[in-house]
Amino acid sequence: MAKSRGTIGILTGGGDVPGLNPAIRAVTVRALREGFQVVGIRRGWAGLVDLIPDKDADNRRHFQVLTEDVVNRAGRTGGTFLHTSRTRPSHLPLSNVPAHLRDRYTGEVNDVTDQVLKNLEFLGIECLIPIGGDDTLSYGQRLHQAGMKVVAIPKTMDNDVPGTDYCIGFSTCVTRTIELTHKLRTCAGSHERFLVLEVFGRYAGYSALLPTMAGAADRCVIPEHPFDIDQLIELMSRDRDKHPSQYSVVLVSEGATMSHQSSMTFEAEETDQYGHKKLGGIGDVIARELKERSPKFNQGRRVNVVNQRLGYLVRCGDPDAMDSIVPMAFGNLALDLILKGASGRLVSLRNGCYDDVPIDVVTGRKKVVNVSKYYNTERLRPIYESFARQPLFIMTSDS
């Protein structure tokens, strides 16, 4: 593989979000113009696990050399043309160990990091740019500790990567949540119902709280504060009575819990390689409780419910303006760091300015909503005060 100034690898891991392709484009265009070659790793960390380090092997499914022609076509679109996965090479189940490695890795769970490093060497990659959330980037930190040069870019619909006010994908998530909520109001209003919308947010409630602050919903429930279901029904009943069309709206983070619950609501017990069960269903639970308990707060009359999980509707399609601009800046920031010889850094946006922080911030703490500062637990809605000197998205800093 021909090299000039060196070879940079780039990959996307975890869930897809709008803005990944613009980030890949930004990295590639700048790197090529600086004299580097760029290799796109396909399917996140899985590409570096499954690759066969043999020049005669067919590795087209695992990597591709990137050109301006390739990234320019994809750079205006959503998703990730490099594809993605939730593979974790340090905790790889035996069923995911590729056939050519089965004689070396025989445990129920395997750490194949040494093979990943060999595969990076085979590709001639001297610096790696992973784009992902704290799960994906935690393994990027592992490679940095093992001696690989790593510069990371944060992305997640939940905006919950520590060390940055903003993660790629969040603005489009908020924009779509607001749009879809307003569209669904017509159904709720026509039938005088409660409207329950489940949105992303395993540990952090930003994607429910911020749209509510923007006027998309009357109430929201978030993972950081277990809520009382009767309190929610009473508040929504009051909202409904006040509304000319006799309806009210609540946004529900997928990781939210009722005060009597011992855990989050899951679709199934199976976990991914990062130990996460698939969330989903708290919106259904709340919708059922609203319908059954509503007579207590509505003069004995039952109120029916429009219930919708927004899910992939807010992460599909093209990026909005923020998720076209920020990935461009993040990609160029990553190249600035590489040109300086830096490693173990996470590009960031903090207090309105682009910056970078140590990558180990992603494993140091969870980034969650400061409830006392931003969430009114009596009213189950945002606090509307003290906006001066706050970041663009108000509640998205680590403070």
Cα–Cα dist 75/26, whole Å: 8
Residues 39 and 101 in one domain: yes
Residues 64 and 38 in one domain: yes
Q: Which of 209, 192, 191 is nearest to 200 (CA)?
A: 209
**Ramachandran angles phi, psi of 371, nearest 5°:** -60, -45
- State both tokens at 297: 């707060």
pLDDT given at position 388: 85
pLDDT given at position 282: 93
Spatial contact of 380 and 219, defined as CB atoms under 8 Å apart: yes
Q: Which of 198, 247, 203 is nearest to 223 (CA)?
A: 203
pLDDT given at position 261: 76
Sign of the CA dihedral with 25 first, then 313, 254, and 371 last:
positive
pTM: 0.93
Spatial contact of 314 and 158, defined as CB atoms under 8 Å apart: no
Is position 75 within any domain? yes
pLDDT given at position 2: 46
Residues 30 and 163 in one domain: yes
Q: What is the pLDDT of residues 278-299, one digit of tens each?
A: 666 899 999 999 999 999 999 9
Residues 192 and 215 in one domain: yes
Query: Distance between alpha carbon 248 and the CA centroid of its chain, in Å?
Result: 28
Residues 84 and 212 in one domain: no
Is position 1 within any domain? no
Cα–Cα dist 240/192, whole Å: 8
Cα–Cα dist 206/286, whole Å: 19
Residues 218 and 297 in one domain: yes
Is position 388 within any domain? no
Q: Phi/psi class of residue 90: alpha, beta or left (left: φ > 0; alpha: ψ in -120 to 50)?
A: alpha
Overall number of domains in the chain: 2
- The H-or-E segment that residue 190 falls in is helix 170-191
Cα–Cα dist 177/199, whole Å: 8
For residues 98, 100, 101, 107, the Cα torsion angle rounded to the nearest 10 degrees is: 60
Is position 389 within any domain? no
Q: Which of 382, 384, 376, 354 is nearest to 153 (CA)?
A: 354
Q: What is the pLDDT of residues 314-333, one digit of tens each?
A: 999 999 999 999 999 999 99
Residues 217 and 262 in one domain: yes
Query: Distance between alpha carbon 370 and the CA centroid of its chain, in Å?
Result: 19
Spatial contact of 14 and 136, defined as CB atoms under 8 Å apart: yes
Is position 79 within any domain? yes
Residues 127 and 194 in one domain: no
- State both tokens at 279: 């969330």
Residues 196 and 57 in one domain: no
Residues 164 and 175 in one domain: no
Is position 98 within any domain? yes
Q: What is the CATH number of the domain that holds 133?
A: 3.40.50.450
Cβ contacts of 299 within 8 Å, gap of 6 or more: none
Coil vs helix vs strand at 193: coil
Cα–Cα dist 109/126, whole Å: 28
Active site residue 323: no
Coil vs helix vs strand at 120: helix
pLDDT given at position 393: 86
pLDDT below 50 — which residues of the chain?
A: 1-3
pLDDT given at position 255: 93
pLDDT given at position 76: 86
Residues 162 and 212 in one domain: no
Q: Count CA within 13 A, CB hemisphere, residue 167.
A: 30
Q: Domain range for residue 125?
A: 7-168+319-364
Q: What is the CATH number of the domain that holds 256?
A: 3.40.50.460
Is position 277 within any domain? yes
Residue in 16, 158, 165, 323 annotated catalytic: 158
Q: Which residues pair with 199 in a beta bridge?
A: 253
Residues 283 and 351 in one domain: no
Is position 284 within any domain? yes
- State both tokens at 327: 């990935």
Coil vs helix vs strand at 9: strand
